[in-house]
């Protein structure tokens, strides 16, 4: 049963007079709790170092936000009235009150009794008795908070009403549909080793990014709510919120819950204003000088099943209906690339026969599309593999397809040389997918060394060296063809494998032509590119444009073809379009391949 007491004195707008209006005889109704205006513990004392943790206290404060009920946070926030604030540097004067059987109203001055506890990473008061309402209509002045902010800055405002005067950037939407949360930052944070060398410089970037992150929550513990309020009035497939969009007028109650600092919105307050600063882009047009377009695309586990969609090694669609949704999205994206050659990653490694994943995907693109078959049963022993498709109407293979073993834990690359049928020099395209940063089974030197490169970095370095050695032998038998190394190297731009390949003569064409803020992947609110276009000198002179197509990395995960575990069985946000067809953005590489050497 929920309990709510109301003052018989009506509204009061002057905090200094609140203590004069306590209800006569209120204290006996709540056992040992003292009447309004009696000496009480200041919230600053409760928040000062945990000295009162485990003790029962009484306090008198103003309710700033109510999130009661099982679908809310099961409590409310209080803050010391402006006139009673102690203004102690670094000490918060707000507090969460865990009250599963009580409600509260913002603006009420209440007297509370409860036990001080540490829960979910924050100090809270667990309510012992029903709150006594001493007065109503008491305003509270919000504190100002700006990003970046140190942990000490945030702790000094924990549990308090705050406002952020800045225009902030949406840096992540991964949990938007699941928990109603999104990450905000001042500007767009980049992955540390995307912009800084591994080691001390990357550690500085990690620290800077951690200070530049705040979650905007929805005041609820519900998973997969029917209505996600961001962007207003609600999230929808036709009304997305993308990383890179901006928001102003952000305000709410600051708290640390489940290890992350977040703002809970105040009901009835003005909603934050979202701006579609990063709208969905159409497919990039070809460069006017291009004679050949190559694309590279990580498909996020396209498994066509091989007759067993529920097999233990299946990392993709778990049903025929989900597979149909996935194929519709992938086909929409692949067709729109307008590419002559497409390098693929995360294909089911089930060979090159008519029922294989790579051939079924080619069939979805139309009768002109062909599969590059190196003549092997499969490409190594991993569950996923790379692949190459080409449009036979516009392009032809020169020489032979080739693959090689790059070492333990490394997936085999696939290389072929192509020439436009309209004429021009050939180019060799080698598609790769190096070992992921997943730390399963990583020990010793392969474990995370804390330098920003994650697990399995030595394996990726070894594979990069073996790849350069192999390419130096001209494995496709196309003399004079420049070489493009494309694919997911699972290494950001400043990491060891990419720098090794640079020393071996392969230039980073994404950095050169897409610019210093290029990205194709967003993880933990940090942008960067694991997907690369590296060119030797012979190929680099022909590359006229490199363009990531931002259809995936910025989109909410809920827009994908399949729901997450625990989500509704049919995705509520699904549309058979290119957006969120994968978790990586495809890269488009335009080349002007002349007949002779420039």
* Number of other CB atoms surrounding residue 108 within 10 Å: 27
Residue 371: per-residue pLDDT:
98
The pLDDT value given to residue 311: 62
| Half-sphere CA count of 231, side-chain side, radius 13 A | 19
Q: What is the pLDDT of residue 27?
A: 32
pLDDT tens digits, 227-279? 999 999 999 999 999 999 999 999 999 999 989 999 999 987 788 999 999 99
State how far Cα 475 lies from the chain centre.
39
The tens digit of pLDDT for each residue in 344-353 reads: 999 999 999 9
Output the pLDDT for position 312.
63
* 8 A C-beta contact, residue 406 and residue 416: no
Dump the DSSP string for 487-536. Answer: EE-S--TTSHHHHHHHHTT-EEHHHHHH-TT--SEEETTEEE-SEEEEE-
Instruction: Single out the residue of 206, 198, 203 nearest to residue 460, CA to CA.
Output: 198
CA dihedral over 206, 211, 216, 217, signed as positive or negative: positive
Delimiting residues of CATH 2.40.50.140 domain(s) in the chain: 15-135
Fold for 15-135, please state it: OB fold (Dihydrolipoamide Acetyltransferase, E2P) (2.40.50)
Intervals of CATH 3.60.10.10 along the chain: 292-591
Q: Hey, how many other C-beta atoms are within 10 angstroms of the C-beta on 164?
A: 25
Nearest CA among 232, 239, 234 for reference residue 273: 232
Contact 264, 65 (CB under 8 A): yes
Name which of 597, 583, 513 is nearest 551 in CA terms: 583
- Whether 420 contacts 391, CB under 8 Å: no
φ/ψ of 161, rounded to 5, equals -75, 125
How confident is the prediction along the chain (598 residues), in pLDDT tens digits per residue? Answer: 344 333 333 333 333 333 333 333 233 333 568 999 999 999 999 999 888 999 999 999 999 999 998 889 999 999 999 999 999 999 999 999 999 999 999 999 999 999 999 988 889 999 998 999 999 999 999 999 999 999 999 999 999 999 999 999 999 999 999 999 999 999 999 999 999 999 999 999 999 999 999 999 999 988 999 899 999 999 999 999 999 999 999 999 999 998 999 999 998 778 899 999 999 999 999 999 999 999 999 999 999 975 455 566 789 998 889 999 999 999 999 999 999 999 999 999 999 999 999 999 999 999 999 999 999 999 999 999 999 999 999 999 999 999 999 998 899 999 999 999 999 999 999 999 999 999 999 999 999 999 999 999 999 999 999 999 999 999 999 998 999 999 999 999 999 999 999 999 999 999 999 999 999 999 999 999 999 999 999 999 999 999 999 999 999 999 999 877 777 777 789 999 999 999 999 999 999 998 544 3
Class of domain 292-591: alpha beta
Residue 266 is encoded by which pair of tokens?
């105040």
Q: What is the dihedral of CA 486, 506, 375, 422, to 10 degrees?
A: 70
Residue whose C-alpha is closest to residue 409's, from 373, 436, 448, 379: 436
Of 238, 219, 218, the residue nearest 177 (C-alpha): 218
Whole-number pLDDT of residue 16: 36
Tokens of 212: 């530049």
Count the Cβ atoms, other than its own, within 10 Å of residue 223.
13
Q: Let me know if 134 is exposed, middle or buried by CB neighbors in 10 A (0-12, 13-18, 19+).
A: buried
């Amino acid at each position: 049963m929920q309990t709510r007491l109301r003052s018989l004195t009506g509204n009061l707008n002057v905090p200094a007079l609140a203590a004069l209006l306590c209800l006569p005889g209120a204290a006996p109704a709540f056992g040992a709790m003292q009447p309004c205006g009696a000496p009480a513990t200041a919230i600053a004392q409760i928040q000062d170092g945990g000295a009162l943790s485990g003790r029962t206290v009484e306090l008198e404060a103003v309710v700033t936000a109510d999130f009661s009920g099982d679908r809310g946070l099961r409590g409310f926030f209080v803050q010391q009235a402006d006139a009673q604030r102690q203004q102690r540097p670094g000490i918060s004067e707000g507090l969460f009150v865990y009250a599963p059987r009580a409600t509260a109203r913002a603006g009420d001055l209440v007297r509370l009794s409860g036990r001080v506890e540490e829960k979910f990473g924050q100090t809270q008061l667990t309510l012992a008795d029903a709150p006594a309402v001493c007065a109503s209509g008491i305003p509270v002045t919000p504190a100002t908070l700006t990003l970046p902010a140190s942990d000490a800055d945030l702790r000094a405002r924990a549990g308090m009403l705050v406002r952020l005067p800045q225009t902030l950037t949406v840096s992540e939407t991964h949990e938007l549909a699941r928990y109603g949360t999104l990450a905000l930052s001042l500007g767009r944070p980049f992955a540390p080793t995307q912009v800084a060398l591994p080691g001390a410089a990357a550690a500085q970037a990690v620290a800077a990014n951690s200070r530049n992150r705040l979650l905007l929550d929805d005041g609820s513990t519900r998973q997969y709510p029917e209505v996600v309020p961001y962007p207003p009035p609600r999230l929808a497939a036709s009304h997305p919120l993308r990383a890179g969009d901006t928001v102003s007028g952000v305000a709410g109650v600051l708290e640390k819950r489940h290890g992350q600092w977040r703002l809970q919105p105040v009901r009835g307050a003005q909603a934050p204003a979202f701006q579609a600063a990063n709208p969905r882009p159409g497919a990039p047009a070809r460069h006017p000088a291009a004679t050949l377009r190559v694309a590279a695309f990580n498909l996020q586990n396209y498994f066509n099943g091989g007759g067993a969609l529920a097999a233990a090694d299946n990392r993709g669609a778990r049903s025929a209906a989900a597979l149909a949704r996935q194929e519709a999205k992938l086909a929409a994206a692949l067709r729109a690339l307008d590419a002559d050659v497409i390098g693929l990653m995360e294909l089911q490694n089930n060979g090159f026969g008519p029922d294989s994943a790579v051939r079924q995907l080619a069939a979805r693109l139309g009768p002109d599309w062909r599969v590059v078959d190196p003549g092997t049963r499969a490409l190594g022993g991993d569950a996923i593999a790379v692949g190459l498709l080409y449009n036979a109407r516009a392009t032809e293979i020169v020489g032979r397809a080739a693959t090689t073993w790059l070492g333990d834990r490394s997936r085999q690359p696939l290389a072929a040389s192509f020439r436009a049928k309209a004429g021009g020099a050939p180019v060799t395209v080698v598609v790769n997918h190096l070992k992921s940063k997943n730390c399963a089974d990583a020990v010793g030197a392969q474990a995370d060394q804390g330098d920003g490169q994650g697990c399995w970095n030595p394996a990726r370095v070894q594979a990069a060296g073996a790849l350069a050695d192999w390419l130096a032998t001209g494995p496709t038998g196309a003399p004079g063809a420049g070489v493009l190394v494309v694919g997911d190297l699972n290494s950001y731009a400043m990491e060891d494998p990419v720098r090794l390949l640079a020393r071996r003569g392969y230039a980073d064409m994404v950095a050169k032509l897409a610019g210093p803020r290029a990205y194709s992947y967003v993880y933990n609110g940090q942008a960067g590119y694991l997907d690369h276009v590296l060119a030797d000198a012979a190929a680099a002179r022909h590359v006229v444009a490199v363009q990531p197509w931002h259809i995936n990395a910025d989109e909410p995960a809920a827009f994908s073809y399949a729901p997450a575990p625990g989500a509704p069985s049919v995705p509520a946000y699904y549309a058979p379009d290119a957006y969120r067809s994968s978790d990586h953005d495809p890269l488009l590489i335009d080349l002007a391949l002349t007949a002779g050497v420039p």
